[in-house]
């Protein structure tokens, strides 16, 4: 199990427990986290599970691959730290991960 | 596959059943209806069959289709098309059903956004998550500019003649329209969040050549604000790596892909529950007799949004549809394995 913290645009933070192997998107959906839509269900085929990775974690989560980078074109206000949360698998290494939910998924 | 290209305005197509949505469940409905001697026309807003399977995940494997341990979205679509071939359904692509009304003779009349009119005894809504519609960037007041200065599709190229055009996006739609509209626009700017493009390499090359010849601009950045009055756009504020910049434009074409919206289904007078259509679990019929809803768009106690559930729903729907279309004919239950009459319909050789 690993802890993941979701920061909402209004500043509220929620920490959830997630099993290794599930994606950050799935951890958000299981815990009914607002701001993560995941319209396509995790196929890397929309961009509605967009998150910003906390600066301290960027190195550990790594960079998006080409397919994810392409799909990020469909997100709004994309930053250097942008990722699609369905493409990040939880592992012990990521215990304590902090991600920021964008103002809007679209 | 019989694809019907845009019919003449006002032409009326009469058929047994109109299926709204050509996703996997709509396609399989053709099969179940066909076995009962019922002919169907399918209408889809996309330019191809397969719905989400073909549009969202053509290459992604699906693992829960009975007897197919692993099949891609496109693979499943192709197999369904092969399976329904004997029934030769007519496909109408790039059309969205906007209006649905009951006629005095009990049939339904449907009209698409392209003006095609259908009359059918039975309507099957197999619209999945709804119709695919262009994504609207969450920019403040963008809706005030829509239809006047902001467009999501190019219906008339003349709309862009002698205009300062800003196109946003990095895929084929964005690049194709940059190349088509650049010769007639007063000025052309393409904006994309990064200097990499998903579009076909030769389009990107052509675009870069135009930029090199100073016939258009390429801006790497993201739109943060639209400025203008009374629906007329004057400029867009752009966040770039180094700061902010203003792009003068009176026409904006954002290409951010598609999203699913329930759309006009909501206006047809059917009972709805959280944007889904409630049905019974015997016939999968809606609150209107003769209108059925199958697949992801319906809801009932215990509903699972699985393709296989949609297949089951299609089979039961077809039996009730039969009673509307052939009220005088008794419906026998038969197996394709042993029934020579079903096998004849399927074109099985002796």
Q: Per residue in B74-84, pLDDT tens? A: 999 999 999 99
- Judged against a pLDDT cut of 80, whether residue B5 lies above it is answered with no
Nearest chain A residue (CA) to B139: A76
Tokens of B134: 């262009």
Q: Residue A35 in 3-state DSSP?
A: coil
- Which residues does chain B have within 8 Å of residue A45's beta carbon, measured at their own beta carbons? 56-57, 60
- Judged against a pLDDT cut of 90, whether residue B7 lies above it is answered with no
> 3-state DSSP: chain A helix, strand, coil percent, rounded to 5?
25, 25, 50
- Judged against a pLDDT cut of 90, whether residue A61 lies above it is answered with yes
Nearest chain B residue (CA) to A43: B57
Write the CATH number for B229.
Answer: 3.50.50.60
Min Cα distance A34 → chain B (Å) is: 17
Mean pLDDT score of chain A? 94
Q: Is B75 left (phi over 0), alpha (psi -120 to 50) or beta?
A: alpha
Q: Are the CB atoms for A61 and A94 separated by under 8 Å?
A: yes
Whole-angstrom distance, CA of residue B101 vs CA of residue B88? 26
ipTM of the complex: 0.88
Going by pLDDT thresholds of 50, 70 and 90, the confidence category of residue B348 is confident
- Of the candidates B110, B132, B129, the one whose C-alpha atom is nearest the C-alpha of residue B42 is B110
Contact: A47, B257; criterion CB under 8 Å: yes
Tens digits of per-residue pLDDT, B73-120? 999 999 999 999 999 999 999 999 999 999 999 999 999 999 999 999
More confident residue, B338 or A98: A98
Identify whether residues B263 and B128 lie together within a single domain. Answer: yes
Pick the CATH number of A2-100 from 3.10.20.30, 3.30.70.1060, 3.20.19.10, 3.20.20.140: 3.10.20.30
| Distances in whole angstroms, Cα of residue B192 to Cα of each of A24, A77, B162, B168, B185 | 27, 12, 23, 6, 19
Identify whether residues B231 and B140 lie together within a single domain. Answer: yes
Query: Last residue of a domain, which of B240, B256, B272?
Result: B256
Domain residues for the domain of B106 are: 2-133+259-345
Identify whether residues B110 and B143 lie together within a single domain. Answer: no
Q: Pick the range with the lowest mean pLDDT from B191-205, B264-278, B284-298.
A: B264-278
């Amino acid at each position: 199990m690993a802890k993941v913290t979701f920061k909402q645009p209004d500043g509220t933070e929620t920490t959830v427990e997630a099993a290794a192997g599930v994606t950050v998107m799935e951890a958000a959906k299981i815990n009914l986290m607002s701001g993560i839509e995941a319209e396509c269900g995790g196929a890397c085929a929309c961009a509605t599970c967009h998150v910003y990775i906390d600066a301290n974690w960027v190195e550990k989560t790594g960079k998006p691959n080409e397919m994810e980078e392409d799909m990020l074109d469909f997100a709004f206000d994309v930053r250097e730290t942008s990722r699609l949360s369905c493409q990040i698998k939880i592992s012990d290494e990521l215990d304590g991960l902090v991600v920021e939910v964008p103002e809007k998924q679209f | 596959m019989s694809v019907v290209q845009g019919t003449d305005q006002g032409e009326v197509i009469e058929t047994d059943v109109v299926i709204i949505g050509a996703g996997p469940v709509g396609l399989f409905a053709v099969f179940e209806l066909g076995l009962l001697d019922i002919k169907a026309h399918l209408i889809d807003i996309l330019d191809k069959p397969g719905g989400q399977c073909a549009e969202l995940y053509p290459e992604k494997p699906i693992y829960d289709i009975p007897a197919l341990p692993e099949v891609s979205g496109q693979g499943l679509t192709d197999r369904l098309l092969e399976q329904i071939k004997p029934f030769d359904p007519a496909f109408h692509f790039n059309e969205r059903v906007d209006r649905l009304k009951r006629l005095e003779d009990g049939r339904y009349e449907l009209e698409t956004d392209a003006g095609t009119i259908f009359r059918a005894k039975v309507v099957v809504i197999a619209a999945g998550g709804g119709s695919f519609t262009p994504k609207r960037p969450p920019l403040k007041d963008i809706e005030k500019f829509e239809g006047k200065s902001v467009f999501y599709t190019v219906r008339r190229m003349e709309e862009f003649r002698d205009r300062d055009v800003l196109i946003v996006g990095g895929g084929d739609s964005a690049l194709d329209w940059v190349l088509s509209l650049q010769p007639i626009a007063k000025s052309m700017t393409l904006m994309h969040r990064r200097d990499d493009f998903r579009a076909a390499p030769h389009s990107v090359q052509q675009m870069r050549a135009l930029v090199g010849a100073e016939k258009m601009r390429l801006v790497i950045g993201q739109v943060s604000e639209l400025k203008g009055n009374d629906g007329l756009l004057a400029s867009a504020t752009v966040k770039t790596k180094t700061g902010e910049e203003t792009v003068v434009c009176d026409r904006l074409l954002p290409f951010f892909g598609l999203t699913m919206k329930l759309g006009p289904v909501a206006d047809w007078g059917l009972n709805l529950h959280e944007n889904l259509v409630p049905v019974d679990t015997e016939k999968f019929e809606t609150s209107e007799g003769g209108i059925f809803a199958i697949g992801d768009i319906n809801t009932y106690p215990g509903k699972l949004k699985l393709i296989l559930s949609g297949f089951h729903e299609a089979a039961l729907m077809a039996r009730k549809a039969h009673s509307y279309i052939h009220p005088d004919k008794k419906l026998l239950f038969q197996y394709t394995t042993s029934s020579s009459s079903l096998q004849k319909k399927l074109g099985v050789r002796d």
